[in-house]
Structure 1
Amino acid sequence: MDKKDFSKLEDQIMSTVSNALKAVDFVNLKRDINDKTEDTLNQFKSKLNGYGEKHMSLNKKPKKDVSTYISKRPAGSISGILYILFGAIGSLVYGFSALIILVFKKLLSSIVIIDSHIIMWILLVLFIVSLSLLIRGINLRKRVKRFKNYVKIIGNNSFFLIKDLAKFYKEKESFVVKDLSKMIDLGMFLEGHIDEEKTYFMLNDEVYDDYLSLKKEQMEIESNNKKLNEETYSSEKEGIEATIKIGRSYIEQIKNIKNDLYKEEIAIKLDKLANIATQILSQIEKNPKKIQEVNKFINHYLPITIKLINSYKDINNQLVQGENIENAKSEIEKSIDLINSAFENLLDDLFEDVVLDISTDISVLKTLFKQEGLAEDDFKK
């Protein structure tokens, strides 16, 4: 019998004991946890698709004039010019004055040397201050220029991807985020917002409120999905634990009956059966993914087996052991042999993945040894 083909096991058992027992009733318990959650998952998937469509339609909403949300006099437009003007004048005046003093100091090094040092330091300080004002003004004007470029790039859109802005302006995303944040703080974008993930720049409060609503909805969906997955996992885990518990209960019954029949030849067969069943459950505990493969073993074949050996016990307790009873006992013993063989095949099948992993590890080791020149063939050479 093929190790994976257990579908005919029941018919073979029933056929061999038909002369000993009138009938053996059984119940095939089947479980399918995933069917319970499939409809709910489809609903969440539909909502996620709806969220995506709604999110993409933000820019399609009726918009006000973009200029409504942009400062007409951005910070630095006037102050930047003044900083540059005063900084440039101061740098020229104080720098030129310091240069003249240096020249006179060289020519008249012995005259009023103390006063020339003091004046020189004052002029240098004023020159540095003026130079700082000049640099400050240039930076302010550059920011105003970038602001105007951002406005042109954004156009009539109510929100924009920061990575696209960085791409258009040929700057790093981190620089654009920092730049836009500063402009928002300075009131250059009157209602500007940047999302927490630093992905979107939103021009006004209305779009930002829509974004927050969608974000909240998305988080709720993700939370529900997580909760559903946890419940499903918990349900699966409870189902596996319950199945294993049932299996152990059947094994305990087999052992008890074996103890009652310790003088009979069938006791050896039952001891083997209990050991095989215990190993199957142990393997399922290590690899719960295989639970579907042993559901029928636990919920169908073990109950049939219990019924058979209970029948054996009942007829064995009869004071008069006639020909019919002996035949029935013989047929049940043959059935136990058949069951043991089938369960051994099932146990062997559960180790298929383990054997595959071992073969893969051995293959990797051989390849590594060959690459390092440590293979047997290399030593022969």
Structure 2
Amino acid sequence: MDKKKISDLEDQIMSTVGNALKAIDFANLKRDINYKTDDTLSHFKTKFNVYSEKHMSLNRKAKNDVSTYISKRPAGSISGILYILFGVSGSLVCGFSVLIFLIFKMLFSSIAVTISYAMLGVSLIFLAVSLGLLARGIKSRKRVKRFKTYVRFIDDNSYFLIKDLAKFVKEKESFVVKDLSKMIDLGMFLEGHIDEEKTYFMLSDEVYSDYLNLKKQQMAKESNNEKLNEEIYNSEKEEIESTIKIGRNYIEQITNVRNELYKEEIAIKLDKLGNIANQILSNVEKNPKKIQEVNKFINHYLPITIKLINSYKELNSQLVQGDNIKNAKSEIEKSIDLINSAFENLLDDLFEDVVLDISTDISVLKTLFKQEGLAEDDFKK
């Protein structure tokens, strides 16, 4: 709706009303149901920002103590080498034994079958065990290598984001989480902890304890925030219901006056006014977010209208209808026409979003029909 036109129309209404009733003076009533909670809500928007700020101070405090939480001889640094040595030695000996046995088996077929297969089975078992030791040793050594890489990434930090570490080592976050958990179990990180969300790794019990305390505080704040939102919602709902109730009361008063003036020409105008007003309130009931758009309608123009038509009723009840009374009644009738026009524009404006949605849907359908070759132009070809 053209705001300038509406503004001009409002000026006309107020001017005409002034001519009709010289003494009418109304205060603008403005309602604000937002309660200015933006500052409070924005305080809770990010879940872990508070954690990060607090942990920064913990990092500074723990800068010189990081090494105390890292094993100087991580699991696998020595045992991994031994596993590899035993695995390689055993694999060579057992593999060579199996090879020699097969050669002798081919050259001397007189060897007892039972004994030959028993010896072969034992050799193969020892070969499998040796290969298992070799694989375990290699796995342990790789874990130690990754551990040293993790330690380089940790530097002087007492906590970090797992996703950052995953990027650093070029591995998936799920792999890094399992890897860190295994290292914690093996005592490679003496006091390591991973949060429940698998987001943070904390190097010490102290940092983890502070994290849990901060999390509890954050949860408490979020709980309070939810309660605050609920209170705001309920308050807004009550405010909207109260405003609509006031509007319905005004419409009822208009109807009552109209019934008393049913013989007058103004009755038709009041019928139209009541119908438009009802449609506006019905729209707001279905779309409460539009209450701000009709606040002026309910709290300003409807009260003016009520006073105008009551004045008309009073003037009409006079036995002698002089020129002043006739002029005042005429001015009031003109005012009702202007008010009806303004309310029609307001009602039309409330359907702006609906029209936009319909236009969007039609545009999407046309595009889809065009893509499928179902557009009218396609049939003309």
1:8 paired residue number: 11
SS at match of 2:164: helix
After superposition, where does 1:201-240 map in structure 2 within 5 Å? 201-240=201-240
Q: In the alignment, what sits opposite 1:294?
A: 294
1:4-43 matches, within 5 Å, as: 5-18=8-21, 23-38=23-38, 40-41=40-41
Residues 377, 89 of structure 1: alpha-carbon distance in 2 compared, 3 angstrom cutoff: closer
Percent identity (aligned): 76
1:4 touches 1:349 (CA, 8 Å); kept in 2?
no
* Matched-pair contact (CA < 8 Å) for 1:4–1:346: no
C-alpha distance in 1 between matches for 2:47 and 2:244: 38
Per-residue CA shift, 1:81-130, capped at 9, x if unaligned? 33233333332333222222222222233541122122222221222122
Q: 1:309-348 residue pairs with structure 2 within 5 A?
A: 309-318=309-318, 320-323=319-322, 324-348=324-348
1:146-295 superposed matches below 5 A:
146-295=146-295
User: CA 1:351 to 1:5, structure 2 compared with 1: closer, same or farther past 3 Å?
Assistant: farther
Q: Which amino acid is the alignment partner of residue 133 of structure 1?
A: L
**What is the aligned partner in structure 1 of residue 306 from structure 2?**
306
> Structure 2 CA distance, aligned partners of 1:310 and 1:52?
65
- In the alignment, the residues of structure 2 paired with residue 186 and residue 49 of structure 1 have an alpha-carbon distance, to the nearest angstrom, of 32
Query: What number of residue pairs does the alignment pair up?
Result: 377
CA shift in 2, pair 1:220/1:119, >3 Å: same
Equivalent-residue separation in structure 1 for 2:95 and 2:48 (angstroms) = 66
**Distance in 1 separating the partners of 2:79 and 2:356:** 75
Q: Deviations over 1:202-246 (max 9, x none)?
A: 221222223333333433444444433333333223222221121
- Contact kept in structure 2, 1:9 and 1:342, CA below 8 Å: no
| Deviation, structure 1 residue 193 | 1.5
Following superposition, the deviation at residue 317 of structure 1 comes to 4.1
Does structure 2 conserve the Cα–Cα contact (< 8 Å) formed by 1:28 and 1:300? yes
Distance, in Å, in 2 between the alignment partners of 1:46 and 1:149 is 31
Asked if structure 1 preserves the Cα contact closer than 8 Å seen for 2:59 and 2:156, the reply is: no
Going from structure 1 to structure 2, the CA distance change for 1:364 and 1:66 (only over 3 Å counts) comes to: closer
What do you get for the CA RMSD once the two structures are aligned?
3.0
Q: Which amino acid aligns with 1:17?
A: A
Match in the other structure for 1:123: 123
C-alpha contact (below 8 Å) 2:13/2:335 kept by paired residues = no
Equivalents in 2 of 1:298, 1:170: separation in Å?
63
8 A contact 1:16–1:335 mirrored in 2: no
Structure 1's 159 and 11: CA in aligned 2 closer, same or farther, altered over 3 A? same
Q: 1:190 to 1:221 in 2, by over 3 A?
A: same
Amino acid at match of 2:190: L
- 1:84 alignment partner in structure 2: 84
TM-score in terms of structure 1 length: 0.86
Q: Relative to structure 1, is the Cα distance of residues 5 and 279 closer, same or farther in structure 2, using a 3 angstrom cutoff? A: farther
Name the stretch that deviates more: 153-162 or 44-53: 44-53
Q: Which secondary structure does the structure 2 equivalent of 1:76 belong to?
A: coil
* TM superposition shift of 1:45: 8.3
Report the CA distance shift for 1:367/1:267 in structure 2 as closer, same or farther (over 3 A). same
Name 2:66's counterpart in structure 1.
66
Structure 1: distance between partners of 2:164 and 2:370: 51
Tell me which amino acid in the other structure corresponds to 1:177: V
Tell me the distance in 2 between the aligned counterparts of 1:192 and 1:11.
74
Segments of 5+ residues of structure 2 without an aligned counterpart are: none
The two structures have a TM-score, normalised by structure 2, of: 0.86
